[in-house]
Structure 1
Amino acid sequence: MSLRPTLETRKATPTMEGAGVHLHRAFGFQDPSELDPFLLFDDFRNDVPDHYLQGFPWHPHRGIETITYVLNGSVDHGDSLGNTGSLGAGDVQWMTAGSGILHQEMPKGNASGQMHGFQLWANLPSSLKMTAPRYQDVEGKEIPEIIDDDGTRVKVIVGSFWGKSGPVDGIAADPQYLDVYVPAGVKKTLPVDTYRRAFAYVFEGSGAFTDAADPTGVLLEKEVDGAELNIRDMSGDRTLVRFGTGDSVTVQAGEQGVRFLLISGAPIQEPVAWHGPIVMNTQAELQQAMRDLRNGTFIKAAH
């Protein structure tokens, strides 16, 4: 077993998107090679309806795939191809924008006014940038959940894990997307394919992701250039944990347990030309997309 080191932990940053949706961004619009094939990750969580009800009105996408995972409330969506629907608590949608789509996403709170969900952007390789758009809507009841003897629970949204496969398939990044809960005081090691980039996003409780320099979890500190560095700091709510290479990650749950998304995917390693919701390989392709938007030829595919 080769334990993945923790390269970095950082808090998600408050920002606004759409028509004034208050959210926290774990990464995005910076170095696209950092977590290749993933480009952006947003945590849209709020209990103030005025901070999310204006939603994300009509906007374009090309060259990427987006996965939306709803925990509380719902998200109504519609697109330029005539698709409409609503994602409820526990539901997932994977949208392949491909050659181009215009869509809108309008969050609604639950009975208490709470809204919580995540959106992840995954890049498409050059060979699939102009593929036909498609949606995969998955109800929460279709997502397998594994409960281990120590109380660890894993929902397998995409990919395969511990003998179960998630219901979303045919994704270019061939990702693994897991919703993991580890009970208080439990230490858990989870396998991750060696050849994938991987990160965790903590959104409930706290946990220490054990450093490779401390595989037993016994050491609390080490020295780096003469300075003490705590390698067992607990990662709490809205924390991104970026991992190095290896075939597993280990987490020690804190006093309230820890719940996090564990996401990995095969890097594409291609040039990225990126402007807002459009991600291509070259500036020329990006400029063509903008021309298509201006002259009404952005949508290339119908049903």
Structure 2
Amino acid sequence: MQAIATRNRSIVYRTRGHGHGGITRLMSPSDLGESLKPFVFLDIFNMERPLLEAMRAGAGMSIHPHSGIATVTVLTEGRMKFDDPSSGTGMLSYGGVEWLRAGSGVWHGKELTPDDVPLVQGFQLWIALPPELENGQPESRYLEPQSIPSAGPARVILGEHAGVRSPTPAPAGINYLLVTLKAGESWTYQPPAGHAVGWLAVARGTLEASTSVPTGDMVVFEDAEDAITVQAGMGGDAVFVLASAIPHPHELHLGSYSVHTSAQALETGERRIEALREQMVAAGNRRTPTGNVPVFR
């Protein structure tokens, strides 16, 4: 029987975002997030030794709140330590994941501490939660690299790909993969049925799709369910994240650090955040001997 040819999806938009202090913002809820929801925010961070030393001393990212979303932090280079009474201690390196479902509200920002390495690189992604979860119980998990399964060159960070399911408890209808291709290697991703949203962002190397996609670029694919085929450039390995999803059917209602599906849900989340802030202040210094500050929820 002759195989049925599939059409590869074309790229319809690209961005290099805007950077500050080792972090480049590639997507926000008020721009690309509106068309790529449930994916509403994406940062790539490249933190070198001076910034890492400042972070180990307690400086760097400030503690801040979230509600209505889940955040997914995945490392592509370097090592970060976690230390949380509810999760134990351990180390995240390439392919390691912090999963934080903010739900009704959390405060975080210092729960990961850099190890003694020259560079820490990775992505932080926000996902808009559905109504049944956006004001639900918060949850955080730290998944060391050996806990994240692979399907070929892809680590399955969220969802299911090629019969391999991630242990991360993400909402249904979302796939998020970390992929490394050797120089010249080709790879095809066939999204599940209904996954019309698709994009990728390159951490290292160059990809060839319908056009060249260099380090630091994020590209958006046309709304479709066709396959996405890429090839690493001949200059070296390519490391990138690729995501697909069923479109999020709800409007985005935005707070300073929150994304919800309705004005009422946003108000509920922001009230909870303020109540948590008062409790957190009353709790005083929560820094662990490792140097980090666990998520407050």
Specify the TM-score bucket, using the shorter chain as the normaliser: 0.7 to 0.9
Question: What SS does the aligned partner of 2:206 have?
Answer: strand
Instruction: Return the offset for 1:82.
Output: 6.4
Change (3 A) 1:33 1:173: farther
The amino acid across from 2:93 in the alignment is: A
Q: Please, which runs of 5 or more residues in structure 1 have no aligned partner?
A: 17-21, 148-152, 211-231
Instruction: Return the offset for 1:258.
Output: 1.9
Alignment of 1:26 onto 2:26: yes
Percent identical across equivalent pairs?
24
In structure 1, distance between residues paired with 2:87 and 2:187: 41
Report 1:1-303 matches (<5 A).
Answer: 1-15=6-20, 22-31=22-31, 32-50=33-51, 53=55, 54-71=59-76, 72-76=78-82, 85=89, 87-90=91-94, 91-147=96-152, 153-169=153-169, 171-196=170-195, 197-210=197-210, 232=211, 234-244=212-222, 245-255=224-234, 256-294=236-274
Change (3 A) 1:5 1:82: same
Question: What SS does the aligned partner of 1:105 have?
Answer: coil
The residue aligned with 2:287 is: none
Instruction: Return the offset for 1:126.
Output: 2.0
User: For the aligned residues, what is the CA RMSD?
Assistant: 2.7
Spell out, residue by residue over 1:164-212, the C-alpha distance to the aligned partner (whole angstroms, 9 max, x if none).
Answer: 222213x2253211111222223332211242211111111101112xx
Question: What SS does the aligned partner of 1:180 have?
Answer: strand
Instruction: Return the offset for 1:106.
Output: 4.8
Q: Report the TM-score, using the length of structure 2 for normalisation.
A: 0.79
Q: Alignment length, in residue pairs?
A: 266
Q: Report the TM-score, using the length of structure 1 for normalisation.
A: 0.77
The amino acid across from 2:80 in the alignment is: S
Instruction: Return the offset for 1:83.
Output: 6.1
Spell out, residue by residue over 1:141-177, the C-alpha distance to the aligned partner (whole angstroms, 9 max, x if none).
Answer: 1112344xxxxx22122222223222213x2253211
Q: Please, which runs of 5 or more residues in structure 2 have no aligned partner?
A: 1-5, 280-295
In structure 2, distance between residues paired with 1:112 and 1:67: 22
Higher helix share: 2
In structure 1, distance between residues paired with 2:108 and 2:88: 10
Instruction: Return the offset for 1:128.
Output: 2.0
- Is the 8 Å Cα contact of residues 205 and 254 (structure 1) preserved in structure 2? yes
In structure 2, distance between residues paired with 1:125 and 1:141: 29
